[in-house]
Amino acid sequence: MSKLFLIKNIEFNVTTCMAPASLHEDIYEILFRYKKRMCDKFNDIKGILLIDHFALHLIDQNNKILVFSVTPSVEYNLLNEGLWMYDQAFSADYQKENKFYWWEKAYDEHYFSEIKQAKELKHGFKFGVNLSKTVQSAQLIYSFATRSQKGNLFDYYREYISELYSIGDYMYNSVCKEYGKTKSNHPFLKLIKLKDYTRNKNES
């Protein structure tokens, strides 16, 4: 029998999609507190490969998720409306099977329009793509979006997977080092202090 959860008047059926991570207790605070830091570093790479947005998802070994974003309203809309439960970008299991995928692929079909509206259309994004990697027992998701009208954007970004990982690593290093300074006893500190950011060449 399917098990149902009710969040923000939305029923979540656990048989519909892979189980999402649970939200870290600081997720809302982090989203907005680190916006300036994110934007400062994002200015170094904005426009490269047509990129207009970047977010970093961290899912730890306890399946708790934190998000750093240059456009925190993107994630806030999903969290506040309960739609994140239907977006596999918040599922650690999904990342293990999908290392490179466009945003829409991860949307549950029953809430596709609602997620697309909250995550993409409200912000003028034309296309989004995620890349994931495993660091020890944690999952990192690098999330990019563009407002470009260029055609065949999935094929375009597929040609630059290595470069996208490098950009994601740059943002990860920069932002998480700052986070570690203020959370010295935080369980995420072990993850963000890791020096091995190199992507496994087989994970592409």
Q: How far apart are the first and last CA of the chain?
A: 36
Pairing of strands 64-69, 22-23: parallel
Contact call for residues 171 and 45 (beta carbons, < 8 A): yes
**CATH, domain range 18-192:** 3.30.450.80
- Backbone dihedral region of 29: left (phi > 0), alpha (psi from -120 to 50 degrees) or beta? alpha
Query: For the chain, which residues score pLDDT lower than 70?
Result: 1-20, 176-204
Question: What are the residue boundaries of the structural domains of the chain, listed by start?
Answer: 18-192
pLDDT of res. 85: 94
pTM of the model: 0.80
Q: What is the CA radius of gyration of the chain?
A: 16
pLDDT of res. 81: 94
Strand partners, 127: 146
pLDDT of res. 47: 93
Q: What are phi and psi of 164, to 5 degrees?
A: -65, -40
